[in-house]
Chain A
Amino acid sequence: CTESYAEKYYNRKDVQKAMHANTTGIPYKWTACSDVLIKNWKDSENSMLPTYKYLIAAGLRIWVFSGDTDSVVPVTATRFSLNHLNLPIKTRWYPWYTGGQVGGWTEVYKGLTFATVRGAGHEVPLFQPKRAFTLFQSFLGGKELPKS
């Protein structure tokens, strides 16, 4: 229910003042998700795979992760999509660890790293903050996820 806490907090006048927010008197309450936008969304690309190919060629560091208890954009959806990039494998599938526990599994491809996060839903850092932080540290450091 954490979302409802935000709905309260960011509609407080003193919070908006402290954040220099809503300075033009927006004619609707602050809300976590805009129904108007999602209902009227126009152009949406069918696939991001061509863009991934372009950005891999541009030499960017690309990590994709999946919380494995999400059923909205689940781990099998992402794996099935990434599979169609046909990237050569650099480091084969292995479990990664944090705090002496399996944090998930990972595989490193040429141009992209994929990792699952065990026990995490759609908002991975909400459900598994420590595992998400380890993932972020490895990504920033350009290192493979810990093998123990």
Chain B
Amino acid sequence: VKQKELDRIWALPGQPKVGFSQFSGYVTVNEKHGRALFYWLTEATSFPEKKPLVLWLNGGPGCSSVAYGASEEIGPFRINKTASSLYLNKYSWNREANLLFLESPAGVGFSYTNTSSDLKDSGDKRTAQDALIFLLRWMSRFPEYKYREFYIAGESYAGHYVPQLAKKIVEYNKAHSNPIINLKGFIVGNAVTDNYYDSIGTVTFWWTHAIISDQTYKSILKNCNFSAEKASSACDDAVYYAMNHEFGDIDQYSIYTPTCT
């Protein structure tokens, strides 16, 4: 718990005055390889001791929950254009919950490994295992969150991370009496769910939203076998044509928004 106080953030550079507490730092998840994950906790704006804990995970894989979840989605602060100061997010989710942002796996953002080969063989399994170890050790540092209502939230490739971590927690809880992680549920957005059905649904969206031509739509359906491990070159060519000659200069993550120049 002493480490908790060492993790306390008194104020971020350029931050407006706030009434909630925040902490950030490292939790070692593998001593042998020297893997440590970086977290940032922004507590609820009122009665944090009564509010649930929500762990937020971004996807990628390889993308940072500090960069996206905390700094442009659900966190209490937004960064201004010159990165000189922060301003408040009126719809921050820490109005309702204590938000725990985790940069996962090691190699993402400030999270690191002392074994550089770890960066070349990350995957779903080790990511979920390290995240479970992180949670158990983090709760030793913040014992007030043991047994607290706990939810996991995330988006995109965290459509893998979130249910995989949830499953690890459910299995861990089954194997331990009086388990400390009181997982109640999870919520995921634009989540990678099933490679085959997602692919079909994606091409359908491109056609129904007039992002691609009928000809290209037919060509993709004809040349792409979405259940195959590897796409054929004919399939790659059809999708490449769509993205480079029909999509245009849009932000594919928000199709009515121009790209960031």
* Contacting residue for A42 out of B80, B82, B122, B198, CB 8 A: B122
- Please tell me if B178 contacts chain A, counting CB pairs below 8 Å: no
Contacts of B110 in A (CB 8 A): 10, 16, 19, 21-22, 26, 30
Q: What is the CA–CA distance of A7 and B38 in the complex, to the nearest angstrom?
A: 16
* Contacting residue for B195 out of A26, A46, A72, A74, CB 8 A: A46
CB distance from A49 to the nearest CB of B (A): 5
CB distance from A106 to the nearest CB of B (A): 13
CB distance from A139 to the nearest CB of B (A): 5
Q: 1/0 per residue B62-93: CB within 8 Å of A?
A: 11101110011110001111110010011101
B-contacting residues, A17-70, CB 8 Å: 18-24, 26, 30-38, 40-49, 51-52, 54-55, 58, 60-67, 69-70
Most-contacted residue by chain B among A14, A19, A69 (CB, 10 A):
A19
Contacts of A38 in B (CB 8 A): 60-62
Contacts of B123 in A (CB 8 A): 41-44
- Please tell me if B155 contacts chain A, counting CB pairs below 8 Å: yes
- Please tell me if A81 contacts chain B, counting CB pairs below 8 Å: yes
Asked if B93 and A136 make an inter-chain contact with CB atoms under 8 angstroms apart, the answer reads yes
A-contacting residues, B43-61, CB 8 Å: 52, 60-61
A-contacting residues, B126-175, CB 8 Å: 151, 153, 155-156, 159-160, 163-164, 166-167, 170
Contacts of A43 in B (CB 8 A): 123-125
User: With A19-B40, A49-B193, A73-B202 known to touch, is A137 a contact of B66 (CB < 8 Å)?
Assistant: no
Contacts of B68 in A (CB 8 A): 3, 32, 123, 126
Asked if A58 and B170 make an inter-chain contact with CB atoms under 8 angstroms apart, the answer reads yes
Q: 1/0 per residue B202-219: CB within 8 Å of A?
A: 101110110100000000
Asked if B13 and A74 make an inter-chain contact with CB atoms under 8 angstroms apart, the answer reads no
Q: 1/0 per residue A109-148: CB within 8 Å of B?
A: 0000000010011111111011011011101100000000
- Please tell me if A77 contacts chain B, counting CB pairs below 8 Å: yes
Contacts of A91 in B (CB 8 A): none
Asked if B197 and A80 make an inter-chain contact with CB atoms under 8 angstroms apart, the answer reads yes
- Please tell me if A101 contacts chain B, counting CB pairs below 8 Å: no
Q: What is the CA–CA distance of A32 and B72 in the complex, to the nearest angstrom?
A: 12
Asked if B163 and A52 make an inter-chain contact with CB atoms under 8 angstroms apart, the answer reads yes
Q: What is the CA–CA distance of A137 and B51 in the complex, to the nearest angstrom?
A: 12
Asked if A140 and B96 make an inter-chain contact with CB atoms under 8 angstroms apart, the answer reads yes
User: With A37-B119, A55-B163, A82-B193 known to touch, is A125 a contact of B198 (CB < 8 Å)?
Assistant: no
Asked if A5 and B202 make an inter-chain contact with CB atoms under 8 angstroms apart, the answer reads no
Q: What is the CA–CA distance of A76 and B192 in the complex, to the nearest angstrom?
A: 12
Asked if B12 and A19 make an inter-chain contact with CB atoms under 8 angstroms apart, the answer reads yes
* Contacting residue for B184 out of A21, A61, A70, A123, CB 8 A: A61
Given contacts A19-B40, A30-B109, A60-B186, 18 further A-B contacts (CB under 8 A): A5-B80, A21-B25, A26-B110, A32-B64, A33-B63, A33-B64, A37-B62, A38-B60, A38-B61, A64-B189, A70-B253, A71-B209, A71-B253, A78-B198, A80-B198, A132-B91, A135-B187, A139-B151
Can you list 21 A-B contacts with CB-CB less than 8 angstroms, sorted by A residue number?
Answer: A2-B79, A10-B66, A16-B110, A19-B40, A20-B25, A21-B25, A21-B110, A26-B110, A34-B107, A40-B121, A47-B196, A52-B193, A55-B166, A64-B193, A67-B189, A70-B254, A74-B202, A77-B198, A77-B201, A84-B194, A122-B253
5 residue pairs, one from A and one from B, having the closest CB atoms: A121-B254, A61-B185, A77-B201, A37-B62, A8-B83
- Give chain B's interface residues, CB within 8 Å of chain A: 6-7, 9-13, 24-26, 36, 38, 40, 52, 60-64, 66-68, 71-74, 78-83, 86, 89-91, 93, 95-97, 105, 107-110, 112, 114, 119-125, 151, 153, 155-156, 159-160, 163-164, 166-167, 170, 183-202, 204-206, 208-209, 211, 247, 251-257, 260
